A and B are shown apart, each in its own frame.
Chain A
Amino acid sequence: MATRIPLLTFLAVIMLVLAPSSLIWAESPGKVVVQTIDEGLAILNDPALRSPEKMPERRQKLWDAVKGVFSFEETAKRALGRHWNGRTPQEQQEFTETFKNILKNIYLDKSDSYAQESIVYISEMVEGERGKVNTYFLTSDSKQIDVVFSMKILGGEWRIYDVIVEGVSIVGNYRSQFNSILSNSTFAELMDKLKEKESEVVKLGK
């Protein structure tokens, strides 16, 4: 025993020194996506959570299961693009929170009408600290919907910052909208619009 512990420590130190980045410890992005979605689908398929009065509970469970794998800050940053840097930290934070809340409520609202969908993993691509995971969803009426997850290693773990559905990126879609709005309005006016949308979609969840 006495010799084993120093040996392990030695190995750990060597690995830390040799590791080029946090890459070694991060799992493959495809695994992270599949695991998260399987967890989410397990909640959606749970017969105990299917009745209408259970919907708020199901949403909460679903949110708790998947929120950790998304990086909403990264999503918000990219959606705002070149306009992000000119903003104060408070503005950035307020923007991120509002944007996150909008996305959260829209997608949780969709989960209520979930009907026996399944996900099929196709492939993953990794380049440095970024990766893409190609999948498709099979709906109950056997429509195939191509979904790509864009991911990045943040804090040593693979996190999703964008979802591309049938070629349409969520980040890109919002970026186009924000660019258009900011080309003839102020940031404060954009925030007003976001707040308005936020209150609109929060109502959906009730």
Chain B
Amino acid sequence: MVKHLKMRAWLLICILFVSVLWSPTLFAQDTTTGIGFMADKDTDWENDDEYTLEVSDPYEKWNRKVFNFNHKVYKYVFTPLSKGYDFIVPKKLQGGFNNVFTNLRMPVRFFNNVFQGKFKRASIEFARFMINTTAGIGGFFNPGEYALKAKMYDEDFGQTLSRHGFSEGSFFMWPIIGPSNRRDTIGTIIDMAFDPLFWFGTLDVVLDEDILFGISAGKRVNNYTYNIRDNYDDLMESAIDPYIALQHAYINNRNKNIKE
């Protein structure tokens, strides 16, 4: 029990350390330009600010290799698995499971809203959790959405870092996990510390390691099937250079979420 806790803590520290060493420009100012043509008066399509996106990708060669590897894993392992899951579990049930895992992640959203000074949003997140856990039967249903008339404020530590002037750093493609960058990699690791699922396994009283592994796997399969697979397939289908298409989509979607 204690051994597990120590291992996890060590893993966290090691990865953090590596992340921090990753680049000396850690606290450089964010240089990404805003999107939206309202900023530039130039209506000329060629010099359109709207589409200016500078990506730092010094590891492109390596990243492309990892991307090709991931693509094969998605195509030949994840997708068949996910299609099987689709066959057994109806979409409504998948949506319910998705709600449960989303509800369980409340501490991540709560603390990151607080870290960004969004106290009202943090309190709404907390209220939603209380309503959904009780009236929504463990978060399976989402009555909080209607009761609070507010959408989910999905903040994570990557967004918190961005709020505090932390630049996104180099783009990086992780094996299996997929696209990220320096900022979001650090963010993901920190967020693990706020994710109840991560800690459940370290306290054997709450959940047995095997059960936790099963839940984590289930969460991943459900998430991939319910939220990711179709979007990923659509993007790949329409892409001429799939690696760049995924990179662009990742960065722009993140930028949108940061602005919100």
Contact at B240–A181, with CB atoms within 8 Å?
yes
CB closest residue in chain A, given B36: A132
Minimum-distance CB pairs A-B, first 5:
A167-B256, A176-B248, A177-B241, A172-B51, A177-B244
Residues in B with CB closer than 8 Å to A106 are 237-238
**Considering the complex, which residues of chain A in the window 62-77 have a beta carbon less than 8 Å from any beta carbon of chain B?**
74, 77
Which of A4-12, A31-39, A51-59, A123-131 is the contact stretch?
Answer: A123-131
Contacts A78-B48, A110-B234, A168-B253 hold; do A173 and B248 have CB atoms under 8 A apart? yes
Determine whether B91 belongs to the interface, using a CB cutoff of 8 Å to chain A: yes
Which of B7-15, B38-46, B68-76 lies at the binding interface? B38-46
Q: Mark B27-52, 1 if CB is under 8 A from A, else 0.
A: 00000000111100001011010110
Beyond contacts A81-B45, A132-B38, A176-B248: 19 other A-B pairs, Cβ-Cβ < 8 A, are A74-B45, A78-B48, A81-B51, A82-B46, A106-B238, A127-B37, A127-B38, A128-B43, A132-B36, A141-B95, A167-B255, A168-B248, A173-B252, A174-B240, A176-B55, A176-B244, A180-B241, A180-B244, A193-B240
Q: Which of B38, B55, B240 contacts A177 (CB 8 A)?
A: B240
Tell whether, in the assembled complex, residue A175 and residue B238 are in contact, meaning their CB atoms are under 8 Å apart.
Answer: no
When distances are taken between beta carbons in the complex, the residues of chain A under 8 Å from B37 are 127, 130, 150
Interface size class of A (residues with CB under 8 A): 35 or more
Q: A84-B46, A125-B38, A180-B241 are in contact. Are A171 and B51 (CB under 8 A)?
A: yes
Tell whether, in the assembled complex, residue A172 and residue B50 are in contact, meaning their CB atoms are under 8 Å apart: yes
Instruction: List, in ascending order, chain B residues with CB within 8 A of A84's CB.
Output: 46
Find out whether the CB atom of A141 lies under 8 angstroms from the CB atom of B92.
yes
Q: When A106-B237, A127-B38 are in contact, do A173 and B245 touch as well, CB less than 8 Å?
A: yes
> How close is B158's CB to chain A, nearest CB, in angstroms?
15
Instruction: Determine the residue in chain A with the shortest Cβ distance to B250.
Output: A168
Q: Could you name 24 residue pairs across A and B whose Cβ atoms are closer than 8 Å?
A: A74-B45, A77-B45, A78-B45, A78-B48, A81-B45, A81-B48, A82-B46, A85-B46, A102-B238, A106-B237, A132-B38, A150-B37, A166-B253, A167-B252, A167-B257, A168-B252, A171-B51, A172-B252, A173-B245, A173-B249, A176-B53, A181-B240, A193-B240, A201-B238
Q: Which residues of A contact B237 (CB under 8 A)?
A: 106, 201, 204
**Most chain A CB within a 10 A radius of its CB, from B234, B238, B241:** B238
CB neighbours of B92 from chain A (8 A)? 141
Distance from A172 Cβ to chain B, minimum over Cβ atoms (Å): 4
B241 touches A181 (CB 8 A): yes
Interface set, chain A 103-131, CB cutoff 8 A to B? 103, 106, 110, 125, 127-130
**Is A45 on the interface with B (CB-CB < 8 A)?**
no
The reply to whether the CB of A169 lies closer than 8 angstroms to some CB of chain B is: yes
Cα(A168)–Cα(B249), bound, Å: 6
Q: Taking the complex as formed, is B247 at the interface, i.e. its CB lies under 8 A from any CB of chain A?
A: yes
A178 at the interface (CB under 8 A from B): yes
Task: Please tell me if the beta carbons of A177 and B51 are within 8 angstroms of each other in the complex.
Answer: no
Tell me whether B91 and A172 are in contact (CB under 8 A): no
A60 CA / B38 CA spacing, docked (Å): 36
Closest to B239 in A: A177
Q: A82 vs B48: C-alpha distance in the bound complex, in angstroms?
A: 10
Interchain CA distance A102-B127 in the complex, whole Å: 46
Residues on the B chain within 8 Å of A169, using CB? 35, 50-51, 252
- Against B, the Cβ 8 Å flags (1 = close, 0 = not) of A183-205 are 00000001001100100010010
Q: Does A144 contact B (CB under 8 A)?
A: yes
